[in-house]
Structure formats: structure tokens, C-alpha cells
Structure 1
Amino acid sequence: MDSHDPVQVTEPHPGVLLITLNRPHVRNAIDQALADAMGTALARLEDDPGLSVGILTGAGGHFCSGMDLKAFPTEGVPVVADRGLAGLTRARLRKPLIAAVEGAAVAGGFELALACDLITAADTAFFALPEVARGLVAAEGGAIRLPGRVPYHVAMEMLLTAAPLPAPDAARYGLVNQLTREGQALDAALALAGRVQAHSREAVHVTKQIVQDTRGLDDHTAYTVQDPLSTPVFDTTEATEGAHAFTQKRPPAWQR
């Protein structure tokens, strides 16, 4: 693989796709080339039946510094079709995606992390949405998602003053699933991916879809949306296998 590729894609473990943003000289800032490459990687995650979990990380000690402001005047916002920034922030991924954060996750970089399902972060990492300081708006999920992930006033301080949030504080607020020592966020993400893979793929995928499709709905409407998704799962061979494994006190033998 070319070390100059803006995104590097590997499979460190069976079923796990590792997507590494690879522009370390600019803290993995997103230009259109990186966005297009990441869109391709995410399509591979979704379309390959052998893959069950994705991990997103950055090269060179940083996660992502957001949109490449040098490229912005000529390229505009580096979106991919209707899937948002770098093909992720407005995408509807069926498979779980984990962000492994070292260093800076800033602006659009933080919005990429917010678009993931789980986050591991080094205790030296930090998150920020400094768009207002650049005359911009955190329009790829920052202003929408952050107030639902941390206390309202913390989110508003970040959004309105560009104040950074250190990873230990993010973990305290529940934004980060696992806090690690510096340099160990990816290892933690791989371990977390393994924990996800231990379970039924179909049950995991449908559970994620239910969460996505029912967010913000009242209970009655949410059940109306959920039931057509969840009911077929109870009639699958995996559901039967899960019940047999439980009664026989053994690990399930999922079909892969």
C-alpha cells in the first residue's frame, strides 16, 4: 500500500476493517481526495459480507484536524454525495464504526468521531469545535449531535466559545467509552471490536438500525418503527442458536 495514500485501509483482524486517515503533515485534515478515499473505504465496510466492524483512526499521533482550510477556497466542503463530510457524517452505516482518537479531534475531525458508534481515546487527546472562530458553523453533526452527548451547557460552551474538551473530561461525561494511555487508543478499539464481534452480526446490525431510526421519536411511534425491524430477528437460526447456547451453557456458534 502506498504510504502517500490519503487513507490507508487494512484488516488487522478477521472481520475488522481499519481505516486510517493518512495526512499526518496536516494532522489528517480532510481535503476532497481524502474524503473520496474514505467514502470508498466505508463502502467496502458496508458491502463486504466478511467485514463486521470498522475502526477509524488517524496517522501521526492525531485523529483529524477537520476540513483542510487551505483547500476549502477552491474545493469547498469535502463531502461525498449525500453522505456528508468525508462520506461519514450524514451516512447511514449498518455496521458499527469505532473511533480510536489520539491527539486532536477538532472541527470536522470531532464530527467524524461523533458520527461513530463508539469512541476510545488516549488521555492526552482532546476534542473541539472551533468553527465560530473561523466564521463557520459545525454543520456536519457538531451542533446537532454534541448537545445530546454531553451536558447542554458543556456543549454550548464548546460550540459558542471554541473551548476544547480534554479526553478525560469527555470520558467523565460519557462521550468516550474507554480512556487509555497515550498511544493505546487503537489497541482499545481493536479489543472493543472483538467484543462486538462476539455476538450475532444480524442482531448487532438491527440493534444499531433501531437506535438510528427511533432517535427522537415518542414511544408509540418508536415501537411502530422498531417492530418491523426486530420481529424477523426472533425467527432466525441465530436466535435459536443463542437460546440453545444459553441453555447448554456454551458459547454460541454464530454463522459467519
Structure 2
Amino acid sequence: MRLKDKVAIVTGGASGIGRAAIDLFASEGASVVIADINASAIEAAVGELRNAGHKAAGHMCDVTRREDTHEFMKMVHAEFGRIDVLVNNAGITRYRPFAEATSEDWDAVLGVDLKGVFFCSQAAAPFMRRQGYGRIVNISSALGTGAAPHNTAGSPGGSAAYASAKAGVIMLTKTLARELGPDGITVNCVAPGTFLTPISASNRTPDEVEEHLEHRRRNLLLRRVGTLDELASVILFFASDQASYVTGQTLSVDGGRSDRM
């Protein structure tokens, strides 16, 4: 078991990519902790994990609030005695045509997708430093590695806030790797391509989701959408000691996207 006796936190862990990572971490021997803002989803996920014989807990946490993230990490450490793995996965989108995007849209997306990564890492780092061990895995996006020509929300700049936040996550990963490496903490990043998750449909109709997926398939060398299990296995690699000599890196998990600039 690659995470035996480890304590692993996943933000946004009650659904989508986060839930896939939580399930895999639990099967690999970790005590798993879900941080999310959806109380009912947390309760359901924790119940399912415990019924399957896993050690699991969950707490509501607004990653955009520094005080919430610090209090959350203190609670986890008090309950489990250590924090070994943090996956910064919580994210939102606010796709708008470029000309119609508001300051509230911009602040909301960067607040969760970038500031939340900083706050959670900052809150977990002291515990990892004291134990001389830690694994931080940040979730970026293919949109953070290069602009795709496909219109989002009817505009080439419709994903401006999301893409900017996810590009920021990649650079934040590098700077945190420099900061925390001397303390035995690795910081790496995963940049997913096209996966069907709740966020995929958050700003699209069902027809728009299918059109989006079909466009992406045409520009993937593997000609298919990825599965969450495939993505979770890469997150596990960075979270485990298989990647003990890797830090500051971003790995694209995108089926070979050929449409980035």
C-alpha cells in the first residue's frame, strides 16, 4: 500500500476529481480527510468510505478564507496527529464572454482556484515542516498551460479568469517547491485535460457539454476523454514516495492535446 499510515487531505474532495483521489488514497491505506463546502456531500462521502472499512473524516472549509484553512488544518492535526499529503483540488469556473466578465467573476475564480491553493498550503506547511515530511499536489489545468482556440462561453477569452488562475497555480507550485524542499516537502502539480466532472457542466447545457467534449476529442491524440481513475493514479504518484525525488514539476494528463498555442 503506497499510502499506508499516511494522513491525506483533499480539498473539493466530496465530488469529481477530488472524490476519485480520496477513494484511491483510501484503498492505498491512507486516513483520508475531505475538505469541501458542500456539507451533505461530505457526509455522504465519509459515510460510504467508513462503511467500506476506511478511516475517513470530513469538514466544511472555505478555502478562500485564510482563517478557515488554518483552523481546518489544526482540527485535522488534532484528530490524526499528523498531515502527510495535501491535494489542492478545490476549484470553480465562471465562464463568461470576455467583454461581459465582471470583477466579481474574476475575484471568485481566482479566490478559490489560486488563493485557496496558497492558503491551504500555508496552513498545512507548519505541520509538515515539524515532521520533516510532506507531499503537496496542486491541481492546475490544460488551460493553464496554453490557450486553446475553442471558444468558451462564445468568446476566445471566455476562460480568461480560470486560465489565469490555473497558470498561477503552476508558478505557485514552483515557488512553494523552493520554499519547502529543504524541509523534506515536495510540491508538484497535475494539469488535467478533458475529463467529465460536475464542473464540466457548471456553465453549460447538456448539448453544450457534448459539443465541448466532441471538440476536445478531435484534438486529442488518444481521441477520447480521460477517466477520473486515470487522473487519480497520477495524483497518487505525486502523493506517494514513488515521487520522493520529484518536486516543482507539472505533469499534463491530457491525452495528448494538440490544440494549445
Q: TM-score, normalised by structure 2?
A: 0.32
Structure (1 or 2) with the larger CA radius of gyration: 1
Q: TM-score, normalised by structure 1?
A: 0.32
Q: Which has the higher helix share?
A: 2
